[in-house]
Structure 1
């Protein structure tokens, strides 16, 4: 382990820039995983990180020490920071004191939709995006396509909300959703509060692509037209609509229900 004690250290400066700038992360093709849970999930599903950073106070933490040992065995660069320097990098208050720097996955996009997927049109809130990813992974959906206007899927905030879902999904950013809809070999279902058909009327026993839109504006009109069907989640209370993350979870698990117990 290399110990860094000065804020003027070049490696610390690079690390601080990565933590604070989405542009720096994008240029470097790297992102940061903060905390034990994300670190364990990455090591389980993706292997060794690029770098492991540990706060001085966490060096002997019972959950941190095994992760640090595993990284050292894999010859990963491990940096120890005094707590004040570590806190200048971490975005989590009262965290455990562990960060991994990892390469942002860049899977090759399929030419057409053939398996259950999620299409996200301009989703803005990192918490909503992370929750959608988490629900998709839990429902066994393997692919997520994000339009150019969607929040950065691999930002630290989305990663924390996703709770490790990123590592079992293929996530495609800056996707051309209209082309995906046009070339899709499976039904594309766009959620709309004005649709006549409910999700419970749909046959979800096979593969489908779910299309969700911006938190306030919903799915854009041109994509709504490109979808195979418009569907609605019926509700009894006097609310106009559901939060998009809640709506996605309802849709995904109605699909799970139909695929496991039938319609």
Structure 2
């Protein structure tokens, strides 16, 4: 493990810039995974792709989980492992009272499909990092594998979204700056948008097959032209005076209702045999 103790070290300056600037991360095509959980998730899900850099705070060198990640990184060709004094480490970490471990990785760049043909999510102008991270977690947990984000949607690989996603990023193909209107127009499967003005309940919709879900901005919702491009609009019934659900909660309801219907169909088919 190489110890870097000077703030003037070129690598430290590069890491500090990556930590501070979304533009720098986009330009370099790199993301920072802060914490043991994200590091472990990357190593488990990235199919052998080595992190570029493993950064450890000096005080974390005695942490058993950190040592395990360090050992795994050192066994991978192409991963540089460095130790920073705690004061320097804190200047690149955005986690208060974190464990003292960060990986620098190449941001995955999956190939954009020509047509939507499987279970997917389209996100139009979502702004809150916590909402996006929560939607990614629910999508991954319910069997969805593709997420498409419009221009103007919060950066999917930002540190806050990564922390909220809790490793879901590495189980999904995430496409940013996607043309959602063209994807809707060419989709080979139904596109469903939630709307409080819809007359059809989500529980009345047939969700046993593959569907694409469309969700919009927390305040403004889905853009009108995109809403018109959806195959079907559905509403999530709820009691009380609340006008609507939080977008992340609404997405979870939709994803798991579709999963429930698929599993119910499988059970019914097995029972009929």
TM-score (norm 1): 0.99
User: Aligned residues, how many?
Assistant: 263
* Per-residue deviation, residues 47-91 of structure 1 (Å, max 9, x unmatched): 321110000000120100011011111141001000000000000
2:183 corresponds, among 162, 180, 184, to 180
2:261 corresponds, among 254, 258, 262, to 258
Unaligned runs of 5+ in 2: 269-273
Q: Alignment RMSD, CA only?
A: 0.8
Is residue 34 of structure 2 the alignment partner of residue 24 of structure 1?
A: no
Is residue 50 of structure 2 the alignment partner of residue 44 of structure 1?
A: no
SS of match in other structure, 1:148: coil
Structure 2 equivalent of residue 87 of structure 1: 90
Deviation at 1:237, TM superposition (A): 1.3
Is residue 157 of structure 2 the alignment partner of residue 115 of structure 1?
A: no
Task: Work out the CA distance in 2 between the residues paired with 1:106 and 1:73.
Answer: 24
2:63 corresponds, among 54, 58, 61, to 61
* Per-residue deviation, residues 76-133 of structure 1 (Å, max 9, x unmatched): 1001000000000000000000000000000001101000000000000000000000
Unaligned runs of 5+ in 1: none
SS of match in other structure, 2:62: coil
Structure 2 equivalent of residue 241 of structure 1: 244
TM-score (norm 2): 0.95
The equivalences for 1:123-202 within 5 A come to 123-202=126-205
Moved over 3 A (4+): none
The equivalences for 1:203-214 within 5 A come to 203-214=206-217
SS of match in other structure, 2:99: coil
